[in-house]
Amino acid sequence: MYLAVSEWAISAVLFRCPSRKEQKPIYYVSRVLADVETRYSKTELTTLAFRSAAQKLRPYFQAHSVVVLTDQPLRNILHKPDLTGRMLQWAIELSEYGIEFQPRLSMKGQVMADFVLEYSRRPIQHKEPIGEE
């Protein structure tokens, strides 16, 4: 699985690997961030992208081993004993799966995740007209 984040959206691409050199995309997950989520750090956004994918693909995660390829130190962060708040909650949720984290080396799959992210619609900011009372 590859993860991608931006200031307005998150995405993930799940791949099947029939051989060591071959990756076939089987599922795309993408969504626009809520207002409060736009203030998360990059690590929190990456964890949120992974959590969102895990929620949508729960049956797949329960039936198969999942390898997450990322440039963020998610394994270290999710296994820290001093986590608090939402990161602690997310770490507990994600701990039920047999997840392996590896550094992202191949950019081929990451390009797909970035593509999905890039074409996620950026939310349109509607301004309320100022009315006279």
> What residues does each domain of the chain span?
2-118
Q: What is the CA radius of gyration of the chain?
A: 17
How many Cβ atoms sit within 10 Å of the Cβ of residue 11? 25
Is the CB of residue 53 less than 8 Å from the CB of residue 13? no
Contacts of 67 (CB under 8 A, 6+ apart): 1, 99, 100, 101, 102
- 61: tokens are 């995660």
pTM for this predicted structure: 0.74
Per residue, the 3-state secondary structure of the chain, as one string, reads CEEEECCCEEEEEEEEEEECCEEEEEEEEEEECCCHHHHCCHHHHHHHHHHHHHHHCHHHHHHCCEEEEECCCHHHHHCCCCCCHHHHHHHHHHCCCCEEEEECCCCHHHHHHHHHHHCCCCCCCCCCCCCCC
Q: Give the pLDDT confidence of 61-98 residue by residue, as tens digits.
A: 999 888 888 777 888 888 887 888 888 888 888 888 88
Q: Give the pLDDT confidence of 15-67 residue by residue, as tens digits.
A: 888 887 788 889 999 999 999 999 999 889 999 999 999 999 999 999 988 88
Q: What is the rounded CA–CA span in Å between residue 31 and residue 121?
A: 9
Residue 13 has pLDDT above 80, yes or no: yes
CATH number of 2-118: 3.30.420.10
